Structure 1
Amino acid sequence: MAKDATLMAHSSVRKLLKRIGLEEKEIEVYLALLAMKIGRATDIAKTAKQSRSHTYIILRDLKKKGLVSEIERGKIIHFVAEPPERLLSYLKNREQELEGLQTLVEGALPFLSSLTPPLTGQPRVTVMHGLEGIKHVYRDVLTRPFVSFFNPQIDWEAFGGNIVHMLFGKDAILRGKDLLVNNDAAKIYLQEVPPHEEYEVRLLPKGVDFDVDVIIFEHEVSIFTFSDEATVIRIENPALADAMRTWHGVMWEMSKEVCT
């Protein structure tokens, strides 16, 4: 039992380290060095089951990230694992870098958009599987105006928590209109993500229920389904987006206002 618990802990830690930006082989080398505290590249490589040359490169990268340092003993370089608390400093540095990149990306968007020809003819359909693919599309709601049909219950079951908080934090500013399935999960969602200046929410009439989420952007519709394998279907077609937006508007007028 204790061995199983240890394996689960190692698996969870690996997933966490991957989420904060470490590559698979970086994780193996980092965990190997943590267990040793200090060691030569050759010994670390053996423990991490990596080639010595590759391990040396990875250790240099981890040093740049502030997670590893090096000392010289008898003219031989030894690598030292910094305290695990350094992960927090690394994460804060990444957040600052991403904030700076966000400004640059926002400035480049008009140029990048101008490179894309307008959609004509057949709708363009893309399909992504898995929760990570779904999260990728959800992140669009922070940067683009939207209207949506949303069932907090199925998202809670799929992601194990409030998807807005998980992706954007508790102070996220959304810019859109959400129609929520009127269930207990919706009430909890409204307490955690209340309507604000640019984010309006209404509760659908009782009895109107569905097990998918639908987000409508300017020229595209994204449909999220969580039965069997989590999947998102993106359909880029202005006419379809307009039709779905009209349907949303009709349901909006029939739905219950949420007091702020």
Structure 2
Amino acid sequence: MSELNTIKTALQHLHASPNAISFFLTSYKLSRSSVGLIAKTAKMDRSSAYIAYEQLKELGLMEEETVGRRKVVWTREPKAVIARLRTEIRRMRRQVESIEEAMPELLAQYGSRNDRPVLQVFTGNDGLHQIKNDILSGSGFELLLMSNFREEAEVFSREEHDSFIQQRLSQNITLRLIATDSLEARKIQSSDAKNHRETLVIEGDAPFNNETYIYGNKVAMLSFNEQTGVIGFIIQSKEFADAQRWMFEQIWKQLNTSNKT
């Protein structure tokens, strides 16, 4: 009967066990009966039947009466199931309200957990592509980059370099670039406007040889040597990213000041 299927679904929502549901539905059909008869009709052993009965009684869905030395049990009317569901709904609503009240503290604890530094190391071309994808997906609206283009040529091919620029532009990510002095850096600087980029060049000896990307709460570094090939890592840490961003800004201000004098 479809009506009993409705009751079955309601009992499932009340977290009644399969045996308890079978006991209830069998008792519903038999009306006033002994636990033993219900167990036999439901093809359930007596100990399982008594456990199921006790669960239903705790839910307030069974009645019982002792007639002589014999205990008779029966299901309460369907309204009792509705009443129990409403009680469960009120309990769940209170739980939702409690979580909502505690949400600021819960989010703060969740955020502090995510502030623990996480280091990922990547090697080879596959690792390079993983780092590139992470940079593009986590940069928001601005990416900061410190680059030595002589070394960068050992990491990125020309095709990969141009592809990175096109993907960055398609995602409306602007770039501020601090580059060591070279012909390639000057060439890059000359095309800043059309590539949503601003480049400042450090004149003189190169103070760094690797590529450093600062984005969101992450810092990615890439380097190349003949023994290890391409190697890079990503550090996810707000404190570390903020420190690297501060150092970038100090260098940026100094270069801007030098260019104006």
Computing the radius of gyration from Cα coordinates, the structure with the larger value is: 2
TM-score of Structure 1 vs Structure 2, range by shorter chain: 0.3 to 0.5
Q: Relative to total residues, which structure has the larger helix share, 1 or 2?
A: 2
TM (norm. structure 2) is 0.47
